[in-house]
Structure 1
């Protein structure tokens, strides 16, 4: 019931004025890119790297008043209303068995990850990259550039993580490791996905 009221824009009153989950935390966005969708993630990561950390998810557009929440804080939206709001809400980026028939499945530009690390040090919220893969993409000798790109991206992220003050985290998860590569596992990863 409270969620419906928040989505519709109606105030939610409780005995103490509001609940902590509505008053003290921004919504978090998890972004997942599956298969060729990794190229879309790459573009989002580039946008994130080149976005201004001082752009706040709650900043009003020029000339618009700030809406106040019942708790006295700026209004928090469940769905970000601006590009900056979306970028600032991203807390996890999941590359899910990404791959292409040519190079470009994973982002390998050092400058982008360096900018993300600096952005985190300047006050942007923590960010976690999780790369999920199967033998279909990570062990296929006919597409060895995919594994090479993944390794390069992991190395770039791992080299920037200590520079971010612990706010950049990276993890790789390998599924169906003991099975022969197949198209079936490429889709089964969706059912087995561990986003914890």
Structure 2
């Protein structure tokens, strides 16, 4: 679930791409040591491959997985140093020769693995989607992980069919809300959103659980 949306809030001079000896650089939040604060570093851009797209990142979702990977507790363990950030929004800067899904200037969201907390990133065109007009970049940045999780669970794992009932036990978070949206408006299923209430009596210490 995306807990926050990280945007570029550096001083104005930091927002401009810098020309260092040896070529242009951009800034990225880097994890050089696990369980330590991230550091803003200059990174040299790499060339885009034929199927890849370079994106000017405007916002990046901050997910629980980002926290885990920076602690060394996630199932994937990138080599140090690395740039966290699984989802982002921005505009296309450059496309590879075989890219046909987006073009320069398009507003996009993407799932980047762990490269999103930077001024720019290079990503496969298959991991990018265009943002409809009227949807702000800030809000769009928090969609890929929550809706991707919902689609994976409902469509690919559960094979949800129209008219079936989907039980959502955590409907208040980003992923729970995405599950409700996808189930009802895309898959035409029914939703039973259950809230688990846990009440502890101070006198006895007993925990009462009720499902509504």
Which TM bucket (shorter chain)?
under 0.3
TM-score normalised to structure 1 length = 0.24
Structure ranking higher in helix proportion:
1
Q: Which has the higher contact order (CA 8 A, sep 6+)?
A: 1
| Structure with max Cα Rg | 2
TM-score normalised to structure 2 length = 0.23
